[in-house]
Structure 1
């Protein structure tokens, strides 16, 4: 697999040279399972999401990215947190090294059907008891943990 490489609290990580607002969504079904996609660039299971486009809000970004990456239409229901850890950088093959800047929302399904995109090899709802058996990056695990805590307010970090 080629593509992006996530560095998290890695002393050998390259220095960031960009900062791009992004949005992700923790989409749950009626059984408490979470919509995850297996990324084609890393093989890790991840939340659907991506970079914000000019002319859209972060909520619109999350809705668009979930639709593009999973085929599912969502409605935003809340905010899990704001994730801006400068110790999480993502290196891309073109030389861009992006510092994390992701707003993660809570959402539920309002339509669509699961579809695999060119960014994924699998898309499915995963029960939280399965998370420990799947390759999931630590930063995504942190968001899933914050979601499971049912916090009174969003994570700000």
Structure 2
């Protein structure tokens, strides 16, 4: 049996796929920012994860922040789009306000804390700290790329 595949189907098969994630920059009234220490690698990051096929980005942010921190949020606005060029992940980051709940860890986090902007820069790698700091500057949405460790310049 001879199988025929159109050029467009062949091109689609060879085109790399991307994953879409969402994350919340949760800002308290005192200016502190919600962060987690990840259980899998011990790094400090903002709460977030993979967007599910059947949910809106805003619903995904609310779900991920609640799952990882115990905090309910109101989603305000998109503050940045960040692409990890090494892993093919596009992250949509939204500024949020806390709307109830209590901080708790989860299977994905070993610590949950409210950090100052200075602590964010100290505790987090550049590619994660910039997401929180971008959300505070009001100049977004920002569009940035990184290789998983460092920001890369626009091409």
TM-score, normalised on structure 2?
0.77
Q: Could you tell me how far 1:80 is from its partner in structure 2? A: 1.0
Q: Which segments of 5 or more consecutive residues in structure 1 lack a partner in the other structure?
A: 1-16, 90-97
- 1:7-156 superposed matches below 5 A: 18-86=17-85, 89=86, 98-134=87-123, 136-151=124-139, 153-156=140-143
What root-mean-square deviation, in Å, do the aligned CA atoms of Structure 1 and Structure 2 show?
1.5
Q: 1:34-71, CA deviations, whole angstroms, 9 ceiling, x for partnerless residues? A: 00000111111100000011210111111100000000
Q: Could you tell me how far 1:85 is from its partner in structure 2? A: 4.2
- Once residues 66 and 131 of structure 1 are traced to their aligned partners in structure 2, the CA distance between those partners, rounded to angstroms, is 17
Using CA pairs under 8 Å that are at least 6 residues apart, name the structure with larger relative contact order, 1 or 2: 1
Question: Structure 1 runs of 4+ off > 6 angstroms?
Answer: none
Q: Could you tell me how far 1:112 is from its partner in structure 2? A: 1.0
Q: 1:94-121, CA deviations, whole angstroms, 9 ceiling, x for partnerless residues? A: xxxx312100000001111111001111
TM-score, normalised on structure 1?
0.76
- Once residues 106 and 120 of structure 2 are traced to their aligned partners in structure 1, the CA distance between those partners, rounded to angstroms, is 22
- Once residues 108 and 149 of structure 1 are traced to their aligned partners in structure 2, the CA distance between those partners, rounded to angstroms, is 16
Q: Could you tell me how far 1:18 is from its partner in structure 2? A: 4.5
Greater Rg by CA? 2
